[in-house]
Structure 1
Amino acid sequence: MRGLPRELPPTAGLPLRLADLRPGRANLAAILAGQLQTPPLQLTCSGTAALLLALRVLHARQPRRSVVVVPAYTCPLVAIAVHQAGLQLRLCDLRPGHFDMDPQALATACREDTLAVLPTHLAGRVADVDTAVAVAARSGAFVIEDAAQALGARSDGASVGLRGDVGFFSLAAGKGLSIFEGGLLLSRDASLRESLRDAGERLVPRRPAWEARRSAELLGLAALYRPRGLVFAYGRPLRRAMRRGDPVDAVGDAFPATLPLHRVGRWRQAVGANAAARLPGFLAMLRRQAQARVEWLRAIAGVEVFDDAPGTQGTWPCLLLQLPDERCRDQVLAQLWTRGLGVSRLFIHALPDYAYLADRVPPAYVPNARAFAQRTLTIGNSPWLDDATFERIASVIERAAS
């Protein structure tokens, strides 16, 4: 097999095994709630579907409020969910050089019309939710923790997603544990949990065709989420998009205008439950690997690596780096992005700069979010990225930053 092409993933997902594909009747949400030590979790067909349900339930409680405040640098799916819920987006600029929302900008954005604020645990790093909670409380807004990329992350010993009113995780490909597409809703408030369950029963139909499609995609993920298979599933589409000059498509930032809602079938739940037994050990391994490499990168002048804040323990699907400027970042990407090494970008633009979102995202002056988009890149933290390959990546970064 030597000499065959390999492609490393941009984020580290738990590889599935043949034994994981056996059917069963396990309750995936209950198993993960036990692992994470949370109140009961609610399984949804995607993390975005979880956000959509949360928005609809909260809007039913505060029907006169219609604005959702989100970081100006976040996944485009957030804007699509807000629009699909019939609500309006209001962007909050970031802190300079950081992914957290700027506290002053957040205070200005939260008004009497604000329904909810979405602090975001980006790339597995734990966000400053306490500031968002304090600011939202002054205007009477809810807080929804976007923990789509942070399944298993903790703050002060407790799972993320519990400091706000509602939280949600993603079970999409590359998000730690995956059933190809899936999500989880959580809340510490029993009344909200009941409302979310009721909304799921009322609003989410059984769509056998969608579940059959997701089941086939999960089989594809199980077969191809390996360095050899990812050449076809990820590497070739990435390089085609880059040859077209379409980085948005290259990182998977282009999404349909409407998100499907359907119920997750028993087989996909069983696959997730079978694999979940390995999730704690997998996350611990990624943490050990990442911490050694964070120290390696910190030795490079001008490079900032986002690490755990005091009292937090994030997950490590990838390493999130901020380089001195856009020129330096682009120089690194020119050498590494399409080389199959797992080096990529998280999101291409700040939200106002996606042309296809122009009807859902209002224009906004968000210089810090734009600078963050222009200066950051990611290095995948998969178990297939060996030290020799990582050293090669670090060397390219060091030369560009010097």
Structure 2
Amino acid sequence: MRLPTVPPTAGLPLQFGDLLPWRGGDLARDLAAWLQLPEVQLECSGTSALMVALRALKALEPGRSEVVAPAYTCPLVALAIAQCGLQLRLCDLRADALDLDPRALRGLCSAKTLAVLPTHLCGRVADVDQALACARAVGAYVIEDAAQALGARNGGESVGMRGDLGFFSLAVGKGLSTFEGGVLVAREASMRAALRQAGASGSSPGWELRRCVELLGYAALYRPSGLGLAYGRPLAQALSRRDWVEAAGDDFGDFIPQHALGRWRQRVGASALRRLGAFQREAQQRAMGRVARLQALGLEVVADAAAGAQGVWPVILLRLPSGQLRDDFLQSHWGDGSGLSLPFVYVLPDYGRYDHVLGTAGGDAVSRARDWAQRLLAISNSPWLDDSRFDRLLSDLQRLLPRSG
């Protein structure tokens, strides 16, 4: 009998009561209180939130034209920067942490730099202080890409507040979900005012209707009995074509919708938010037990780059000893519903399909980031990856380890 499909990340399942329009609250107000922030601004996606942030900064500093981001990040970051009329510069990663390399970052920052984007990838907390030091030296801003880190904390406060501004995603699998949605935060009241001025205020009935239908589908199918249809079947089809980019969900078009987040979806998110804290605490406890077992095999589990931070655990990230071992293990289990995935398949210049938005950034030195991309593996931290299936993954991985030489 085929086992149920495990999602690639630990997203919060919706309940029937969340869909009732009179059950939810005010998502912006409730989320600000949950994050212990003065206010948050809602957008229709995390990518749209990034574009709003960039437009706000561009209005403040019209003479600056470059944005520095990790070479290993979501392709939507490159598309958003290009659509804002800005030039991307790609920063290499540290050898010892999934974070911007300070030396490379200093070499990229200049009087042209508008913003630096440290990224809390897969819930692991980046060292924003290093990014701030480099940005401040040239008068640039820091935008924290916390798309995958809603609920993570650094120094006792929410990520997104150490830099000048930050954004989260409410997309599928990101923890709290309105199917698509974005959240903007900022430290200073003046910056929050600039974000409101730049925000996407217009409605789009067509897009909102589509997202409402998709959210209903998510509520119905994001569970073990439905994920084989919604996620497992498309994944198997992509893998049968050997299309890892499609399998990982890295195939994006240039068009990025921008409109207000609909009121009903906000209410659904506000209702589900009441369960998010307990869900994330359970996820952390489950991850800690499994991390200890992986480390006992001598495996490198990716940790927070910032000392004392408390990341969230949608996945457990491993950096395996070699790219060949990673690929062998992934190909053995990616299509069997065991919850394995890749954060992203390549560094941005290696996709090819995004060359039209990279410009000269395609020539930036990214050798360490490429090594990370070739050896990273994500294991779902969903509660539906039960102990018996995790044990089998661990056993199979242990059998492969001697081959790494």
Q: How do residues 304-323 of structure 1 correspond to structure 2 at under 5 angstroms?
A: 304-308=300-304, 309-323=306-320
The yes-or-no answer on 1:375 pairing with 2:372 is: no
Shift of 1:39: 2.1
The match for 2:217 is 220
Q: Partner letter of residue 370 of structure 1?
A: R
Amino acid across the alignment from 2:14: L
Q: Name the counterpart of 2:32.
A: 33
Q: Which residue number corresponds to residue 257 of structure 1?
A: 254
Match of 1:291?
288
Q: Which residue in the other structure is 1:11 paired with?
A: 9
Q: Is the 8 A contact 1:346 1:378 kept in 2?
A: yes
Q: Match of 2:12, as an amino acid?
A: L
| TM-fit CA distance, 1:98 | 2.7
CA distance in 2, matches of 1:86, 1:401: 46
> Equivalent residue for 1:73?
72
Q: Which amino acid aligns with 2:385?
A: L
1:204–1:258 distance in 2 versus 1, CA, 3 Å = farther
Q: Does 1:149 align with 2:148?
A: yes
Q: Contact between 1:126 and 1:312, CA under 8 Å: does it hold in 2?
A: yes
Three-state SS of the structure 1 residue aligned to 2:335 is coil
The one-letter code sitting in structure 1 at the alignment partner of 2:296 is A
Q: Offset of 1:358 from its aligned partner?
A: 0.5
Partners of 1:95 and 1:8 lie apart in 2 by: 31
1:68-107 matched pairs, under 5 angstroms: 68-107=67-106
| Alpha-carbon shift at residue 97 of structure 1 (Å) | 4.4
Q: Give TM-score scaled by structure 1 length.
A: 0.97
SS, match of residue 298 in structure 1: helix
Please give the secondary structure, in 2, of the residue aligned with 1:277.
helix
Does the CA contact (< 8 Å) of 1:39 and 1:187 recur in 2?
A: no
CA displacement 1:219-267 (0-9 Å, x = unmatched): 0000000112110111111111111111000010011102001111111
- Tell me the residue number matched to 1:247: 244
Q: Is residue 385 of structure 1 aligned with residue 385 of structure 2?
A: yes
CA–CA separation in structure 1 for the residues paired with 2:400 and 2:206: 49
Aligned to 1:333: 330
SS of aligned partner of 1:168: strand
| 1:207 and 2:195 correspond | no
Give the structure-2-normalised TM-score. Answer: 0.96
Q: Spell out, residue by residue over 1:142-191, the C-alpha distance to the aligned partner (whole angstroms, 9 max, x if none).
A: 00000000000001110000010010000000000000000100001101
Match of 2:394 in 1: 394
Q: Which amino acid aligns with 1:283?
A: Q
- Percent of aligned positions with the same letter in both sequences? 56
Contact kept, 8 Å, 2:91 with 2:365, in 1: the verdict is no
Q: Is the 8 A contact 2:56 2:197 kept in 1?
A: no
How many angstroms apart in 2 are the aligned matches of 1:82 and 1:39? 27
- Work out whether residues 121 and 147 of structure 1, in 8 Å CA contact, stay in contact via their aligned partners in 2: yes
* Aligned 8 A contact 1:323 1:401 in 2: no
**Equivalent position of 2:183 in the other structure:** 184
- The answer to whether the 8 A contact 2:116-2:135 is kept is yes
Whole-angstrom distance in 2 between the partners of 1:214 and 1:5: 30
Partner Cα distance (2:20, 2:5) in 1? 27
SS of corresponding position for 1:152: coil
Deviation digits for residues 278-329 of structure 1 (CA, Å, limit 9, x no counterpart): 000000000000011000100112x210134531110000001000010111
- Note if contact 1:45-1:264 (Cα within 8 Å) is conserved in structure 2: yes
8 A contact 1:97–1:372 mirrored in 2: no
Conserved 8 A contact 1:5-1:231:
no
Please state whether the residue corresponding to 2:59 is helix, strand or coil: helix
2 CA distance for matches of 1:38 and 1:306? 28
CA deviation vs aligned residue, 1:53-110 (integer Å, no higher than 9, x gap)? 0000001100000000000000111001001111000000001143201110000000
The Cα shift of 1:4 comes to 5.6
Tell me, in whole angstroms, the C-alpha distance in 2 between the residues paired with 1:26 and 1:299. Answer: 45
Hey, what's the Cα distance between the residues in 2 that align with 1:43 and 1:8?
Answer: 29
Inter-partner Cα distance in structure 2 for 1:398 and 1:5: 22
Instruction: Indicate the residue corresponding to 2:63 in structure 1.
Output: 64
- Out of 336, 344, 348, the position equivalent to 2:345 is 348
Unaligned runs of 5+ in 1: none
Structure 1 residue 271 corresponds to structure 2 residue 288: no
SS state of the match for residue 249, structure 1?
Answer: helix
State the alpha-carbon separation in 1 of the partners of residues 45 and 107 from structure 2.
31
